[in-house]
Amino acid sequence: MNQFQSDKNTKQYWYPNMGSADIIDSLDGWGLSVTHHQLVKPTSEFVLSVYCACLQRVVGLDEDSLQESAQAALSSLDEPNTVRNSGQPL
């Protein structure tokens, strides 16, 4: 086996190399206004908004449907308050 074949088999996935301007333009195309500052110093609210916009765009899920699923999962637990108060995002 030559080196090219070995490299070809190990590189199964790749992500596009996008600069800040490319990311801002792409998200703007989805109707999400983003600044350079938000990209380099993102808040949890910003990350959630981008995540929700991607889910909506790609698979058609919105934040309300995610909250319903999360609440249903929590209500099925024996101690749901332990998870709710753990500080971990749902």
Number of domains in the chain: 1
Is 15 a member of any domain?
no
pTM above 0.85, yes or no: no
* Residue 16 resides in a domain: no
Q: Is residue 12 part of a domain?
A: no
Cβ neighbours for 49, distance < 8 A, ≥ 6 positions apart: 32
Phi, psi of 64, deg, nearest 5: -60, -40
Q: Is residue 57 part of a domain?
A: yes
Residue 22's pLDDT is 94
Scan for tokens 């765009």, then name that residue: 57
Distance CA 47, CA 39 (A): 9
* Residue 42 belongs to a domain: yes
Residue 46 domain-assigned (yes or no): yes
**38 neighbors 46 (Cβ within 8 angstroms):** yes
Q: What is the pLDDT of residues 2-53, one digit of tens each?
A: 445 555 556 677 778 899 999 999 999 988 899 999 999 999 999 988 988 8
- Taking the C-alpha atoms of residue 13 and residue 53, their distance in angstroms, rounded to an integer, is 23
Backbone φ, ψ for residue 3 (5° rounding) = -65, -35
How much is the pLDDT for 1?
47
- From 15, 69, 27, select the one nearest 51 (Cα to Cα): 27
11 domain residue, yes or no: no
Range of the domain at 58: 33-62
Taking only the tens place, the pLDDT of each residue in 42-60 is: 999 999 889 888 888 888 8
